Structure 1
């Protein structure tokens, strides 16, 4: 029996698409590797893809600071909701990719400081983002994101900021209803050639719904060392400890009408809960050579332990247990190279690299004896490794035209070693997927303020190990499930003038072998997954930002998305062609009007959020989650006295006390699809900072 998965060392896959710079010494900007601590570049008009950047102020202003969904609602094309269930993390989808995820994030790649928070099988955990030290978050959409590899229907990447030049100690506490409280302590400073940025935080809440109590502790450290003028070394360490998080489960439509704050009876009977412990570290080395080449080497590794109690015993012959324990080791790395040169008399920027990522997981299952771990039902070791190679070039065809072209080859292998042989069956097996994805983008600087672009790209998404976990009949992994493949196209316009920013994108994605919920296994009641025929996503994204005099500014993000199955015939013979993809709203909107009187330290804003109706099932027959619009208000005041700075803040969400469904468990078992959002909620807090000068 394998006990420990080797922590692979290789190469980290993390292409980024930094903004173009028209400075003489660096005319082009290529989708090259993320360099830890790299500065954001403002001019992105030559980028042939949609990019939204969230600054540190937008991530933290008058928010709890614990959930990525608090700020991602500002991004067009994304649906990011807090499920009010910390046992299952947030729900995030990009242009419809990832909407099927019952827990965690699928179809959207998560990256922090170049270290993937998405595992090689395509499943990611947004709770791992260190929001307390984040300098900015970039959200990428469009065909060129497929150059990130497996499951890159969208990219969310965070950049940890450096500590301030002067040593700074800061604390921040926030309080809300239902026992909600969050506190953090952060230190940053420059000490010679060493830069330090570290924080610890704790979140406690009894939860909006019954049986949803949570405690989450996080700790993060960034050490940056400027070795000399040409090289640097950065170390990042992240830790999360979330013990015994209660899981209230989804509700049926009738249960929502009866009591929207209740938990399912089975959650009490089987004491449904989840424990997560996650630790990881990454090391990045960059060096610029004398010929202006730049090389980057990065390695990372970590461990993750999960124990989850489900709402059934799981004692059947092929059930696999109602208590799941996952003990995972993971690691990887990247070796990258980048050069600015000329070809055929044209300025060219080239980037190439090879990557390796690995996860190995001991999976065990036990009977859930009304909240206690019983007899063993499953014991296997599952491993995934991926190897990628990429080449990307950006050509400055003339002062107005820029061409970006790239290709990435990915190989992903799943291997399962069955150690539970009491049932007389050896369900070991393996499957290998490989894919070569090209992408091409062309941008045109029509005027100094307006740029136009078009892009094409091909992507793919393998099943995750959780989706492979059960066959429709019998035991063992479902290796008949195949990756989905997408062909993506986009045209767009970007306008930058004084206090005005406008981004407009029209896109279409055609997907073959869409991974969907399959038939329920009769012997176990477990959900399985299958491949649908074809689906299409097409839509429009619009983001408008306008500044006015006297510190007034306005922002609008709107998405129109038509996502439906073109060909989909289920195993029972029903034809779902033409049905709308579940969990995907046709319309989504975020708007904000803010006022920050110059020189006062005061800021206040009114926010509006709206989603149209969303279907809960593939066949669109279950009661849909109705559309809604809610309004929020926030305010903060920053005051400095000497070396001290104090910032009280407050916010009220759902000012109109609207009752609505916040998130959906797509195709959930027992028709328990609905997760209600809270009624009117308040949050107050204060930040305190001292700086040694």
Structure 2
């Protein structure tokens, strides 16, 4: 049975799988045979050990019945960041504020809310010029990623988060196609007593945020009713550069109720964003003045507006004898309107789609799962089997971004089509767990279909309707073995499938609209092995990983506002991840380090200029994948002096050099940024008051905060923020 999207698999792919499996087994054997020294008594899990609140909304079965066990017992790389850690002394606007402690994960703030964050996991997702690709996002089990793999993190309700789970490595493939990693946020369940919380923050560049949360439970202690959590907030900023002002409003409601043998959860959220787009800078512009904005951005008044409404319902019910049935459904609507900086001359050809995007998307999906959870004398068996489907239908219009000599306004219609994407994924996962050993196996089959119906047909622009389908199996195997109660080894191996997005198949290589029939899916084989330990002074982990892919999806050309893509052969991403939390008196030290070598194993040809009917610029084998640093390090030192419940923090974040394009013609410089913060807390009865002050980029370092990889105009660089000061306050009241 072939595992790839095509009807046959090459000998090289099969050999690669066998080698990866053998490497994992060999390394795991070496780890298990280690003779460890006597270790201190393990720490108690404390506040992190709580019942899993995800219920039927959890998209895939993961080891452990709570978040602390999940991290410790999983046979793969799983990190859990508690909601209090996400919010403590932070602005609570972006995921980039609090996830630096997760190795292998990169979350960069573009300082451009028209393009969202730049997120990658072990190299997957780095090529995305906007939004998130190659990494699956979830909020309360509902996908924040579309069926084609595109997603956005703007609707993550950090202020009411219970926790964020980050899954890296082979096990992420069990979440479907284009899942090089997974980031899942779960909001809090309402508890007794009722709690009201409001917070505000303000600082550099006219930034301010206000949010309020209300959570509790109806009924009585003896007969509880619905648990509820309501979260609403807004933020605005003038931006780091001209043409980068933005505002965002959001609201999130979660209702949950337990019934005999089961649970029902309802989630409703709304988010809207208005943002100007400063675009990237060329190397010369960045070196001359990194705070400037491209003249094209102001000339065309580049901007983007987004509104999204979504509802989700989950229900689970015990069937007796350790069996459960779990059902989840969701639906939503998303509207996007974007004005781009495409020159008027580039819109003259008949096949041009213009410089204004007007998109209206409806999406929905469901997940049905049977689960068996049975305890035996020798261990615990968990089996899950299910079927998941996601669908989206979008009406996409394109207009010219000028009328006569007036730029940045909606002009003539140049594109009119309906695009559809759908997935249908059966999956099964089984796990056998004892105190000393966990064995996990899973298999998912992903089928992704694209369809486009073109309604804009004119002279020189024929009917561009088309369709494409990608499918493949994603098998995963994992093992965890306890060496002592304080030390364990783990290893896993699996295969994943990454499909192109609708945007990536939208244009043929000849520059015309319509599906690119030559663009295929990429397949990857990943293996990881590591050690994790816990002592009285803290915990630590060390992981080696190796991922090899075939038919990597890369940019072929990027001109006139259009990107075309091709498959570029084989790549390799391999490296080391280290992380830990150490306590020493009043100090808490949290380090994270990632070393990753990500290169093209095969050379290929790409376009270096315009026009480009035939690619002729060579990309050499051994070139680095753009947008990825070889080294990334994070260190936080927190000091609690013992007065006024104060906590002082110093953070250091180091990013190594990054290539800006596939040809590696330019690179960013390595940079280290320091952040300083202090927070306080006072309690009186049922009232709690918290304050914080922080200074980001303490040394006012000039650095590239993120990259637009392979940008056709050479505007690769998105500068990081300069020295910035912020203050915030939070007031909490509990009603008993």
Q: TM-score range by the shorter chain?
A: over 0.9
1:442-461 matches, within 5 Å, as 442-461=479-498
Structure 2 residue 447 is the aligned partner of structure 1 residue 411: yes
2:412 aligns to what SS in structure 1? Answer: strand
TM superposition shift of 1:45:
3.2
Distance, in Å, in 2 between the alignment partners of 1:380 and 1:470 is: 13
TM superposition shift of 1:601:
2.1
Distance, in Å, in 2 between the alignment partners of 1:214 and 1:72 is: 23
1:178 aligns to what SS in structure 2? Answer: helix
Structure 2 residue 544 is the aligned partner of structure 1 residue 506: yes
From 168, 176, 179, the equivalent of 1:152 is 179
Distance, in Å, in 2 between the alignment partners of 1:140 and 1:90 is: 18
1:445 aligns to what SS in structure 2? Answer: strand
Structure 2 residue 95 is the aligned partner of structure 1 residue 68: yes
Return 613-622 or 417-426, whichever deviates more: 417-426
From 100, 120, 127, the equivalent of 2:154 is 127
From 178, 186, 190, the equivalent of 1:163 is 190
The residue aligned with 1:527 is 563
TM superposition shift of 1:39:
4.6
Structure 2 residue 82 is the aligned partner of structure 1 residue 91: no
Structure 2 residue 674 is the aligned partner of structure 1 residue 631: yes
Distance, in Å, in 2 between the alignment partners of 1:525 and 1:467 is: 13
TM superposition shift of 1:335:
0.6
From 632, 635, 658, the equivalent of 1:588 is 632
TM superposition shift of 1:130:
1.0
Runs of 4 or more, structure 1, over 6 Å off, are 29-32, 342-346
- Kept in 2: contact 1:297–1:334 (CA 8 A): yes
- Kept in 2: contact 1:46–1:445 (CA 8 A): no
The residue aligned with 2:427 is 390
TM superposition shift of 1:345:
7.7
Return 281-290 or 99-108, whichever deviates more: 281-290
The residue aligned with 2:212 is 185
TM superposition shift of 1:346:
6.4
Distance, in Å, in 2 between the alignment partners of 1:564 and 1:33 is: 31
- Kept in 2: contact 1:56–1:134 (CA 8 A): yes
TM superposition shift of 1:629:
0.7
Distance, in Å, in 2 between the alignment partners of 1:338 and 1:164 is: 27
Return 606-615 or 339-348, whichever deviates more: 339-348
Distance, in Å, in 2 between the alignment partners of 1:375 and 1:674 is: 32
The residue aligned with 2:388 is 355
The residue aligned with 1:275 is 305
**Normalising by structure 1, what TM-score?**
0.92
Structure 2 residue 593 is the aligned partner of structure 1 residue 558: yes
- Kept in 1: contact 2:71–2:80 (CA 8 A): no
Structure 2 residue 328 is the aligned partner of structure 1 residue 298: yes
1:257-276 matches, within 5 Å, as 257-276=287-306
Distance, in Å, in 1 between the alignment partners of 2:673 and 2:395 is: 44
Distance, in Å, in 2 between the alignment partners of 1:306 and 1:620 is: 33
- Kept in 2: contact 1:33–1:336 (CA 8 A): no
1:284 aligns to what SS in structure 2? Answer: strand
- Kept in 1: contact 2:145–2:152 (CA 8 A): yes
Distance, in Å, in 2 between the alignment partners of 1:307 and 1:455 is: 43
Please list the CA deviations of residues 113-160 of structure 1 after superposition, one character each: whole Å capped at 9, or x if unmatched.
110111110011011111111011011111111111111111101111
Note closer, same or farther for the CA distance 1:345–1:631 as it changes in structure 2 (3 Å cut). closer
Distance, in Å, in 2 between the alignment partners of 1:220 and 1:32 is: 19
The residue aligned with 2:608 is none
- Kept in 1: contact 2:138–2:145 (CA 8 A): yes
- Kept in 2: contact 1:197–1:223 (CA 8 A): yes
Distance, in Å, in 1 between the alignment partners of 2:561 and 2:157 is: 37
1:128 aligns to what SS in structure 2? Answer: coil
1:254 aligns to what SS in structure 2? Answer: helix
2:67 aligns to what SS in structure 1? Answer: coil
TM superposition shift of 1:420:
0.7
Please list the CA deviations of residues 99-126 of structure 1 after superposition, one character each: whole Å capped at 9, or x if unmatched.
0000001111111111011111001101
TM superposition shift of 1:344:
13
From 21, 25, 40, the equivalent of 2:67 is 40
TM superposition shift of 1:34:
6.5
1:663-674 matches, within 5 Å, as 663-674=706-717
Q: Which runs of 5+ in 2 are unaligned?
A: 1-44, 220-224, 606-614
Q: Which runs of 5+ in 1 are unaligned?
A: 1-18
Note closer, same or farther for the CA distance 1:583–1:512 as it changes in structure 2 (3 Å cut). same
Note closer, same or farther for the CA distance 1:520–1:669 as it changes in structure 2 (3 Å cut). closer
Distance, in Å, in 2 between the alignment partners of 1:389 and 1:269 is: 50
The residue aligned with 1:427 is 464
Distance, in Å, in 2 between the alignment partners of 1:620 and 1:350 is: 47
Note closer, same or farther for the CA distance 1:291–1:206 as it changes in structure 2 (3 Å cut). same
TM superposition shift of 1:568:
2.7
Structure 2 residue 653 is the aligned partner of structure 1 residue 609: yes
Distance, in Å, in 2 between the alignment partners of 1:669 and 1:219 is: 37
The residue aligned with 1:53 is 80
TM superposition shift of 1:62:
1.1
1:457-476 matches, within 5 Å, as 457-473=494-510, 474-476=512-514
Distance, in Å, in 1 between the alignment partners of 2:377 and 2:695 is: 59
From 664, 685, 692, the equivalent of 1:620 is 664
Note closer, same or farther for the CA distance 1:190–1:399 as it changes in structure 2 (3 Å cut). closer
TM superposition shift of 1:347:
4.2
TM superposition shift of 1:589:
0.4
Note closer, same or farther for the CA distance 1:346–1:166 as it changes in structure 2 (3 Å cut). closer
The residue aligned with 1:319 is 352
- Kept in 2: contact 1:296–1:337 (CA 8 A): yes
Note closer, same or farther for the CA distance 1:326–1:530 as it changes in structure 2 (3 Å cut). same
Return 408-417 or 305-314, whichever deviates more: 305-314
TM superposition shift of 1:190:
1.2
Please list the CA deviations of residues 62-112 of structure 1 after superposition, one character each: whole Å capped at 9, or x if unmatched.
111010111122210011110000000000111111100000011111111
Structure 2 residue 432 is the aligned partner of structure 1 residue 400: no
1:320 aligns to what SS in structure 2? Answer: coil
The residue aligned with 1:540 is 576
- Kept in 2: contact 1:107–1:461 (CA 8 A): yes
- Kept in 1: contact 2:67–2:80 (CA 8 A): no
Distance, in Å, in 2 between the alignment partners of 1:573 and 1:609 is: 35
The residue aligned with 1:5 is none
Please list the CA deviations of residues 438-468 of structure 1 after superposition, one character each: whole Å capped at 9, or x if unmatched.
1101111111111101111000110011111
TM superposition shift of 1:409:
0.6
Please list the CA deviations of residues 639-689 of structure 1 after superposition, one character each: whole Å capped at 9, or x if unmatched.
112322211111111111111111010011210000111111100011112
Distance, in Å, in 2 between the alignment partners of 1:649 and 1:536 is: 43
From 683, 687, 691, the equivalent of 2:730 is 687
TM superposition shift of 1:597:
4.3
The residue aligned with 1:367 is 400
The residue aligned with 2:369 is 336
From 251, 262, 268, the equivalent of 1:237 is 268
Distance, in Å, in 2 between the alignment partners of 1:34 and 1:380 is: 38
2:204 aligns to what SS in structure 1? Answer: coil
Distance, in Å, in 2 between the alignment partners of 1:632 and 1:255 is: 26
- Kept in 2: contact 1:400–1:444 (CA 8 A): yes
Return 334-343 or 472-481, whichever deviates more: 334-343
**Normalising by structure 2, what TM-score?**
0.87
- Kept in 2: contact 1:150–1:460 (CA 8 A): yes
The residue aligned with 2:165 is 138
- Kept in 1: contact 2:281–2:718 (CA 8 A): yes
Distance, in Å, in 2 between the alignment partners of 1:564 and 1:377 is: 39
- What is the root-mean-square deviation in Å for CA atoms of aligned residues? 2.2
1:509 aligns to what SS in structure 2? Answer: strand
- Kept in 2: contact 1:32–1:338 (CA 8 A): no
Distance, in Å, in 2 between the alignment partners of 1:392 and 1:525 is: 43
